[in-house]
């Protein structure tokens, strides 16, 4: 019998989605969140005015402190996200970035020693172009030679750094660290390959080679067929996304959060601004909060796992096993058109090592990466950049002090931009907005999948059986698509009985 009353603990994207989906299915839902709704998704609009070349400019800019783009492929979370956007009536807010757009084709690596940008080419012909940067040529050669490399995978899980060193060599592993920085802001030596980049593990397992496995298709047919059916169920929008490299929302990701909150309220979700102090199971679940006590049939926990562990009266294993990384995000608005600042494209990432005293992870060229998302009338007149700092530079890499306050991030970001773009000397930003996001992205340490299997078993067979489900980035993927998928699966499956939220890891080996 499905639970009649549910407490959703945590008001980020996963918690909001779970609350909305459960209430739409008839459950009586209370969402508990002590601070702002939306979690790491933070969209703000700021007024800006300036004079240039005898003309006065005035308008608004929309800035993101968290995620800003969405992938329309890459697993079952992609159709789950687009279906959610469609269900919320936000189709007219979608801003597609076509496959042939410069933001899709032009992505860069930054060499901190040379202070140069190198385009990451998709075409193999770039291998024979004398203008292709040595690091990129080396990367392409390593992938071309990978099928001929003899390397037996170790027993059990391995780190991303170990995998790339084994399959492609140490130099390529260093270059590949840039892509890890862009997704997980983590040290590849501390990140599980199978949990973070499972498709690469599956490709090698299938063909004995990553490249050959990818060419043959590493995903099981049943999984691909299910995803195809999910896209078809969305209708014309599911077909249109085939021409997109990525997409965003006009007005920013805040449109998704506000749309979810409004629809959840319409569906009957009660929002309480309250901190959860204790969760205790008996025949139901007692929820002690700063707002007062609550008694429900079921709890959906959308908290980071270590925070969940602290409020459980009956402990569960492995919730504190993974560390989380702290990231500084600095939005910078310059009084110049993008063509006068940077090449047309999405942005650049920075590999480990080299002269990087600010601990920069990469820079997003917001103005050209996601055109059409601003509604303030200044698109093309100003340049918006997002500088990402910290992560492993503030932990395992060492050498860079962790800032104590948001304001300390701004001089670091500006110093990095000055070195990357020396022609900006003397250009003063119109606006800088800094956010120090503490422990915001989990690092799935090797063995993560096996630990989730054991956690699934512990929830499903102990005092929490039938009373607790877990969702969110701490378990099955850090992207917005992953968060929506996990919440969707829990909401759909609760009608059928005991659901932990970790059923995908039940058979993990």
The answer to whether residue 223 scores a pLDDT higher than 60 is yes
Mean of all residue pLDDT scores within the chain: 95
The answer to whether residue 55 scores a pLDDT higher than 90 is yes
Residue 409 Rama label (left phi>0; alpha psi -120 to 50; beta)? alpha
pLDDT of residue 496: 80
Report how far residue 265's alpha carbon sits from residue 31's, in angstroms, rounded to the nearest whole number: 10
Report how far residue 343's alpha carbon sits from residue 116's, in angstroms, rounded to the nearest whole number: 12
Q: Which of 34-38, 133-137, 218-222 has the lowest mean pLDDT?
A: 133-137
Report how far residue 456's alpha carbon sits from residue 245's, in angstroms, rounded to the nearest whole number: 35
Residue 156's SS3 state is: coil
Report how far residue 409's alpha carbon sits from residue 507's, in angstroms, rounded to the nearest whole number: 44
The answer to whether residue 505 scores a pLDDT higher than 90 is yes
Which residues lie across from 299 on neighbouring strands? 7, 468
286 neighbors 295 (Cβ within 8 angstroms): yes
Decide: pTM greater than 0.85: yes
The answer to whether residue 379 scores a pLDDT higher than 60 is yes
The answer to whether residue 427 scores a pLDDT higher than 70 is yes
Cα distance from N-terminal residue to C-terminal residue, the chain: 31
Calculate the alpha carbon distances from 70 to 64, 252, 370 in Å.
13, 11, 11
| Percentage of residues in the chain having pLDDT higher than 70 | 97
The answer to whether residue 234 scores a pLDDT higher than 60 is yes
pLDDT of residue 276: 98
Residue 390 Rama label (left phi>0; alpha psi -120 to 50; beta)? left
- Rg for the chain (alpha carbons), in Å? 23
Element containing residue 327 per DSSP (H, E):
strand 324-334
Residue 107's SS3 state is: strand
Q: pLDDT (tens digit, 9 = 90+) per residue, 346-358?
A: 999 999 999 999 9
Dig out the tokens for 459 from the structure: 């929830």
Report how far residue 344's alpha carbon sits from residue 101's, in angstroms, rounded to the nearest whole number: 10
Q: What is the average per-residue pLDDT within 479-483?
A: 97
Q: pLDDT (tens digit, 9 = 90+) per residue, 84-142?
A: 999 999 999 999 999 999 999 999 999 999 999 999 866 665 555 666 777 777 888 88
pLDDT of residue 400: 84
Q: What is the average per-residue pLDDT within 4-25?
A: 97
DSSP string, 475-504: HH-SSHHHHHHHHHHHHHHGGGS---S-GG
Q: pLDDT (tens digit, 9 = 90+) per residue, 285-316?
A: 999 999 999 999 999 999 999 999 999 999 99
pLDDT of residue 444: 98
Closest C-alpha among 292, 316, 291, 294 to residue 303: 316
Give the total residue count for the chain.
509
Report how far residue 255's alpha carbon sits from residue 260's, in angstroms, rounded to the nearest whole number: 8
The answer to whether residue 75 scores a pLDDT higher than 70 is yes
pLDDT of residue 363: 98
pLDDT of residue 265: 98
Torsion angle, alpha carbons of 42, 44, 50, 55, to 10? 110
Q: What is the average per-residue pLDDT within 318-343?
A: 98
List the domain boundaries for the chain. 5-35+273-322+444-505
Q: pLDDT (tens digit, 9 = 90+) per residue, 254-283?
A: 999 999 999 999 999 999 999 999 999 999
Fold type of domain 5-35+273-322+444-505: FAD/NAD(P)-binding domain (3.50.50)
Report how far residue 98's alpha carbon sits from residue 104's, in angstroms, rounded to the nearest whole number: 7
């Amino acid at each position: 019998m499905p639970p009649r009353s549910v407490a959703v603990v945590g008001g980020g994207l996963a918690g909001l989605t779970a609350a909305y989906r459960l209430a739409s299915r008839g459950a009586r839902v209370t969402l508990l969140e002590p601070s702002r709704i939306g979690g790491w998704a933070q969209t703000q609009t700021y007024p800006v005015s300036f004079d240039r070349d005898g003309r006065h400019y005035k308008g608004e800019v929309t800035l993101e402190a968290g995620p800003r783009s969405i992938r329309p492929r890459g697993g079952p979370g992609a159709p789950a996200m687009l279906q959610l956007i469609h269900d919320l009536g936000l189709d007219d807010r979608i801003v597609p970035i076509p496959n042939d757009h410069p933001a899709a084709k032009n992505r860069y690596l930054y060499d901190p020693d040379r202070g140069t940008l190198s385009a990451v080419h998709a075409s193999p012909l770039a291998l024979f172009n004398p203008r292709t940067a040595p690091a990129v040529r080396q990367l392409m050669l390593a992938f071309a030679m990978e099928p001929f490399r003899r390397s037996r995978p170790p027993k059990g899980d391995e780190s991303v750094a170990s995998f790339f060193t084994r399959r492609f060599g140490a130099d390529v592993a260093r270059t590949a660290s840039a892509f890890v920085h862009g997704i997980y802001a983590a040290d590849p030596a501390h990140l599980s390959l199978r949990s973070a980049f499972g498709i690469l593990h599956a490709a090698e397992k299938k063909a004995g080679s990553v490249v050959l496995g990818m060419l043959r298709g590493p995903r099981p047919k049943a999984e691909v067929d299910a995803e195809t059916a999910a896209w078809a169920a969305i209708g014309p929008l599911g077909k249109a996304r085939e021409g997109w490299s990525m997409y965003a929302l006009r007005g920013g990701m805040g449109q998704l959060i506000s749309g979810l909150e409004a629809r959840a309220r319409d569906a009957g979700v009660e929002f309480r601004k309250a901190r959860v102090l204790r969760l205790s199971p008996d025949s139901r679940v007692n929820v002690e909060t700063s707002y007062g006590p609550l008694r429900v049939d079921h709890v959906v926990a959308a908290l980071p796992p270590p925070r969940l562990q602290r409020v459980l009266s009956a402990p569960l294993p492995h919730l504190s096993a993974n560390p989380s990384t702290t990231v500084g995000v600095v939005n910078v608005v310059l009084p110049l058109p993008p063509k006068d600042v940077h090449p047309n494209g999405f942005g650049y990432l920075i590999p480990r090592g080299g002269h990087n005293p600010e601990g920069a992870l990469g820079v997003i060229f917001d103005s050209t990466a996601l055109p059409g998302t601003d509604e303030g009338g200044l698109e093309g007149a100003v340049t918006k950049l997002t500088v990402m700092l910290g992560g492993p530079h503030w932990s395992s890499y060492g050498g860079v002090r962790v800032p104590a306050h948001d304001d300390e991030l701004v001089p670091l970001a500006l110093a990095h931009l000055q070195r990357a773009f020396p022609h900006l000397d003397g250009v003063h930003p119109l606006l800088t907005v800094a956010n120090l996001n503490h422990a915001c992205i989990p690092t799935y340490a090797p063995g993560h999948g096996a630990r989730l299997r054991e956690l699934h078993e512990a929830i499903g067979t102990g005092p929490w059986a039938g009373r607790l489900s877990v969702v969110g980035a701490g378990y099955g993927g850090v992207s917005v698509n992953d968060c929506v998928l996990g919440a969707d699966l829990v909401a759909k499956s609760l009608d059928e009985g005991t659901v932990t939220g970790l059923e995908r890891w039940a058979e993990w080996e």
